[in-house]
Amino acid sequence: MKAYIDYKNVVPKTVIGLMIFLIVLVPVMTSNMATLSMIILSGVWAIAVMGFTLVLRTGQFSMGQAAFMAIGGYTSAVLTFKLSMPFWPSFFLAGIVSGVVALLIGSVVLRVGGTYFSIITLALCEIVRIVAQEWEPVTDGARGLMTSPPPTIALPGFEINFAASPVPYYYFMLVLVAVTSLVFRQIGRSRMGGTFFGIAANPTLAEHQGIRLMKYRVIAFTVAGVFTGFAGSFYAHFLSVISPVMLGLWQSIQIMMMSIVGGVGSLVAGPLIGALLLYAFGIYVSRLPVFNIQYLLFGTVVVLVVIILPKGTGLVDLWDRFWRKVVWREKEFEFEEVEE
Amino acid sequence: MPPAGIWIDGLIQSCIYMTMAFGMVLVFSILGILNWTHGQFYMLGAFVVYYGIAAAGMPLPVSMLISAVLIGGLGMLVEKFIIERLTGPGYGPLYVTVATLALIFFFEGASGMLFGALDKGLATVLPGVLDLGSFSVSYQKIAVIIFTLIVMVAMYVVLNFTKVGLAIRAAAQDPVAASLHGISVGQVSLIVMGIGCGLAAMAGGIMAPVYVINPFMGRTPMIMSLLAIIIGGIGSLTGAIVGSIILGFLNSVIAYRLSYISELVLFLLVIIILLVRPQGLFGASRK
């Protein structure tokens, strides 16, 4: 038997590997604060978008994902600023609190599905914002809470100082995104991921097969909540402030758009592409001198992506198509006409 | 008791939400989608009326009709080129939601570029107040109430006593059966989208002399009329009216007593209604 290399599988993966390698090396190539913080923040959004996409897998779409970021951010901000706890326990508590809130809310709210669920999460998002704004003793109201950067980690030979430069944040974000991606990828490939698909595609059939819909919906919602909480905590500490207007309904909508533009077919690649491209695009157009043009271009791009891409597959599908159509020049399978 | 002015303000807000919610419910019952861009049609309608009065010097009713026609046409274009393409088989409801949400940014950015983001005020078109002893009402606010009554009566007549209304009701009840009886559901969708957006534009136009006009004025009325149709029951016209009245007074009379807690009350009310009775107060339960 002849050993052979499956080029069609290996070459794209090598390219992806090279890209990841380049992304890891970005701080070596540039120390430009703006570039670094752009990539860092799009990483944060990517985690939130992954959470949204996971919930979407079960057929529910949540318009309140930014609320979980706000809960995570406020948890760690309150713990570090008001109760002067160290950073790392607060960071993990932020994820846990956000996950517990998602579990409690999800187990009540997920019973009504579809549009109703979206509206309820929209209302929850607004409630979180109002509470953050009005609960003055804890959240300092509309002024927002100041957060401190993570403490300096002293290693033999050198030390990681979060206050001095964004580079440590960059690698922290990479680790966070990598962990989230691995977890979500495993979930997507496991039996549970298949179940998610099943209950989205046909809830009635799934229920009659003995799958408890609520259980899987709540699991997806809770996992999304935990990681979104981590992202929120990171966001608050990176920007060194968290205020009620930073994470509201419009940010939830932004998360939703990133997910759809990136593509909901994959749990990891789609959100990463969507968050990176839309966030970078938003930053780029906000530098244009024409007033308000960023809203116009943002809306146009999202509408065009949704309309033009076939069956709304999102940008992630283009990668696959690029290799199949442009590089390998594969032909679609067609029935051959019988010639007389 | 809050002063009478607060009650009247509540009534005005109810009227505006009612006109908008009516359009949203119509669109929902035919197309099966929530049109998230509805508030931006309200905003564009206000701008058309502003320029109609301030630049072209037309009277208010004429410029309101013009804005209804223009914005209704715009809504039809949106239906034709965006919504229709995204509601075919294979697309979930999510794609059309995201497209209409993106249109919010599109229209806000476009009107910000065209008209500027500064607040614009229109000089009162109907000056003077009606003195009612202990309090007084400006004619402008009375005009809002009369306008809403006219719109409601007109919609009642159109829906119940015309052929188009019959087609709309039939298509809302069962699109397949309606198309079997020779009703073009595609055309009905276009008409309904035009009517809904035209209503929103007229609501914006009648409010233009009362509030300030800016590109972001559509967000709050959109969310509020959305919540109104949810409280009343998605797809129910009666529900939209009752929900708007509840919301209008909640936003003014209860806000007078409780300030920000009224917002919390509003959202909690929505959540509780959806949990206990997802079809809303007036919606028929359906599977």
Determine the average pLDDT of the residues in B260-285. Answer: 79
Phi, psi of B135 (to 5 degrees): -145, 170
Q: Does residue B238 belong to any structural domain of this protein? A: yes
Q: Does residue A98 belong to any structural domain of this protein? A: yes
Q: Which of B46, B40, B76 is nearest to B63 (CA)?
A: B46
Taking the Cβ of residue A127 and every Cβ of chain B, the question of whether any pair is shorter than 8 Å is answered with yes
Using one digit for the tens of pLDDT, what is the confidence trace for A119-147? Answer: 889 899 989 988 888 888 888 877 878 87
Instruction: Write down the residue that tokens 């290799």 correspond to.
Output: A323
- The answer to whether B33 touches B100, Cβ cutoff 8 Å, is yes
Taking the Cβ of residue A202 and every Cβ of chain B, the question of whether any pair is shorter than 8 Å is answered with no
Alpha carbon A336 to its chain's center? 44
**Shortest Cα distance, chain A CAs vs residue B29, angstroms:** 14
Q: What is the largest CA-CA distance in chain A?
A: 85
Taking the Cβ of residue A18 and every Cβ of chain B, the question of whether any pair is shorter than 8 Å is answered with no
Q: Are strands B129-132 and A153-154 parallel, antiparallel or unpaired?
A: unpaired
pLDDT above 80 for B2: no
A299 contacts B109? CB cut-off 8 A: yes
Contacts of B116 in chain A (CB under 8 A): 291
Q: What chain A residue is nearest to B84 in terms of C-alpha separation?
A: A307
Contacts of A114 in chain B (CB under 8 A): 93
Contacts of A139 in chain B (CB under 8 A): none
Q: Does residue A2 belong to any structural domain of this protein? A: no
Q: Does residue B128 belong to any structural domain of this protein? A: no
**Shortest Cα distance, chain B CAs vs residue A58, angstroms:** 13
A312 contacts B105? CB cut-off 8 A: no
How many other C-beta atoms can be found within 10 angstroms of the C-beta atom of residue A318?
15
Instruction: Write down the residue that tokens 């009325």 correspond to.
Output: B221
Structure tokens at B146: 């009369």
Contacts of A126 in chain B (CB under 8 A): 263, 267
Q: Does residue B144 belong to any structural domain of this protein? A: yes
Q: Does residue B85 belong to any structural domain of this protein? A: yes
Q: Does residue A137 belong to any structural domain of this protein? A: yes
Q: For B102-165, give the DSSP string.
A: HHHHHHHHHHHHHH-SS-B-PPPSS--EEEETTEEEEHHHHHHHHHHHHHHHHHHHHHHHSHHH
ipTM comes to 0.83
In our burial notation (b when 16+ CB lie closer than 10 A, e otherwise), range A40-70 reads: bbbbbbbbbbbbbbbbbbbbbbbbbbbbbbb
Who among B95, B109, B230 is closest to A293 (CB)?
B109
**Domain span at B31:** 4-123+134-276
Q: What chain A residue is nearest to B86 in terms of C-alpha separation?
A: A307
pLDDT values of chain A reduced to their tens digit, one per residue, 340 residues: 566 777 777 887 888 888 888 888 888 787 778 888 888 899 999 999 999 999 988 888 888 889 999 999 999 988 888 888 888 888 899 999 999 999 999 988 888 877 888 888 989 998 998 888 888 888 887 787 887 777 777 777 677 777 777 888 888 889 999 999 999 989 988 888 888 888 888 888 888 888 888 888 999 999 999 999 999 999 998 888 888 888 888 889 889 888 888 888 788 888 888 888 888 888 888 787 777 778 888 888 888 888 887 665 777 777 777 777 777 777 665 556 655 5
- The answer to whether A72 touches A95, Cβ cutoff 8 Å, is yes
- Domain count of chain B? 1
User: Domain containing A35 — which CATH number?
Assistant: 1.10.3470
Q: Does residue A227 belong to any structural domain of this protein? A: yes
pLDDT above 90 for B259: no
Using one digit for the tens of pLDDT, what is the confidence trace for A277-321? Answer: 888 888 888 787 777 778 888 888 888 888 887 665 777 777 777
Using one digit for the tens of pLDDT, what is the confidence trace for B173-226? Answer: 888 888 898 888 888 989 999 999 999 999 988 888 888 888 888 888 888 888
Q: Does residue A337 belong to any structural domain of this protein? A: no
Q: Does residue B251 belong to any structural domain of this protein? A: yes
Alpha carbon B65 to its chain's center? 16
Q: Which of A93, A52, A86 is nearest to A71 (CA)?
A: A93
Note the pLDDT of residue B286.
46
Note the pLDDT of residue B153.
92
Residue type, A316: V
**Shortest Cα distance, chain B CAs vs residue A76, angstroms:** 24
**Shortest Cα distance, chain B CAs vs residue A75, angstroms:** 21
pLDDT above 70 for B6: yes
Who among A123, A260, A293 is closest to B95 (CB)?
A260
Task: Return the ∠ at Cα A293 (arms to A288 and A294), rounded to 5°.
Answer: 75
**Shortest Cα distance, chain A CAs vs residue B51, angstroms:** 20
DSSP state for residue A245 in the 8-state scheme: G
User: Domain containing B253 — which CATH number?
Assistant: 1.10.3470
**Domain span at A219:** 7-327
Q: Does residue B195 belong to any structural domain of this protein? A: yes
Using one digit for the tens of pLDDT, what is the confidence trace for B130-140? Answer: 777 777 788 88
- The answer to whether B198 touches B43, Cβ cutoff 8 Å, is no
Q: Does residue B281 belong to any structural domain of this protein? A: no
- Domain count of chain A? 1
A292 contacts B117? CB cut-off 8 A: yes
Q: Which of B241, B243, B208, B212 is nearest to B227 (CA)?
A: B243
Q: Does residue A338 belong to any structural domain of this protein? A: no
Q: Does residue A339 belong to any structural domain of this protein? A: no
